[in-house]
Structure 1
Amino acid sequence: MRAIVIFDGDCGLCNGFVEWLLRRDREGRFLIAGSAGAPGRAALEASGLGTGIARSSIVVWDGGAGRVRTDALVRIARGLPWPWRAAVALRIVPRVLRDGVYDQVARRRPRRAAEDPACGIPPADLVALWRSRLATTADVAALASEPGHTPAPRT
């Protein structure tokens, strides 16, 4: 099942993580969306999380509830090949501990201006792959309409 990874395009750590993910996601299971772009905002709204969450956390949405912080990282690990899939074992650590570490790292993350805040700045050797994996609003609509999708509650 495909999922959309929503990230802060102005965050150097987030951009680096997306670069890392694209290099390892050989099967193309993950699309990417900057939180400032229309697809990212649409996915965040559809997930029920709201658009502000991606300023402090990476988000993964696969048509159901959005996952944040280390739950998002575990969901990503589940979709990657070995040895990265082994990171699913993080689930055995209590969420309050693993998210506490995540939050400490997030507070110290480097911020940088992005040319396009909707999608960050891809490294030169990844431009074509990065662009091919950018989610569209049509991708968001397709995930939202898949069987088993429960619309996010409106607040």
Structure 2
Amino acid sequence: MDRGIVIFDGDCGLCNGFVRWLMRVDRHGRFAIAPNADEVGRAALEVVGVPWGLTSDTLVVIIRGTPLLRSAAVLGVLRELSRPWRVMAGAGRLVPRRLRDAMYDAVARRRKVLSGRVRACRVADADERRRWSARLATVQDLEALAVAARTS
């Protein structure tokens, strides 16, 4: 199974909160995760042609070789999950992309304030460390990504 890859700012509490949420709701392991400073995360960005510097301001999600940014990344994740998330993605797509991205950007600009209570450096419990380790993007994920990027 080709997994999508979520590339996130590992120093951002809001981004880490999103990934923690994803680990809870993605029961079928549809997504691998890669911090943007990680070697695999950087390589994945290179494969799909997304500049690394972009990841300090936006979540990047790669699904079937296609990079998604900003609100499209969030909706892409929701669309790949089961109900009710898939339904929310459908509703979200009814909102014009320009407006969705403006809302995404407003949250991104305030992410340090908004995530003040969610510390990126908090110590994860053993179960959470196990789940995150199992979901880290691998070389095999990169190989599948390269094949998908060539065929899309």
TM-score by length of 2: 0.86
* Counterpart selection for 1:132 from 128, 131, 134: 134
Aligned to 1:142: 144
Query: 1:63, 1:144 within 8 Å by CA — same for their partners in 2?
Result: no
- In the alignment, structure 2 segments of 5+ residues that lack a partner are none
Deviation of 1:68 (Å): 0.5
Aligned to 2:49: 48
1:123–1:84 CA distance, 2 compared to 1 (3 A) = farther
Residue type of the alignment partner of 1:96: R
Percent of pairs with identical residues:
49
Deviations 1:52-80 (A, max 9, x none): 11111111112422100110111101111
Distance 1:65 1:106 in 2: 22
1:123–1:55 CA distance, 2 compared to 1 (3 A) = same
Q: Secondary structure at the match of 1:31?
A: strand
Query: 1:15, 1:122 within 8 Å by CA — same for their partners in 2?
Result: no
Q: Secondary structure at the match of 1:66?
A: strand
Deviations 1:61-117 (A, max 9, x none): 1242210011011110111111111221211111110100100100111278866xx
1:109 is the counterpart of 2:111? yes
1:147–1:39 CA distance, 2 compared to 1 (3 A) = closer
* Counterpart selection for 2:92 from 67, 84, 90: 90
Deviation of 1:44 (Å): 0.9
Distance 2:138 2:62 in 1: 13
1:87–1:130 CA distance, 2 compared to 1 (3 A) = same
Distance 1:37 1:133 in 2: 14
| TM superposition outliers: structure 1 runs of 4+ over 2 Å | 62-65, 110-115, 146-150
1:67–1:122 CA distance, 2 compared to 1 (3 A) = farther
Distance 1:42 1:137 in 2: 9
Distance 2:141 2:62 in 1: 11
Query: 1:58, 1:72 within 8 Å by CA — same for their partners in 2?
Result: yes
Q: Secondary structure at the match of 2:16?
A: helix
Query: 2:66, 2:149 within 8 Å by CA — same for their partners in 1?
Result: no
Q: Secondary structure at the match of 1:67?
A: strand
In the alignment of these two chains, the number of paired residues is 145
Aligned to 2:34: 33
TM-score by length of 1: 0.85
Distance 1:29 1:9 in 2: 20
Query: 1:8, 1:36 within 8 Å by CA — same for their partners in 2?
Result: yes
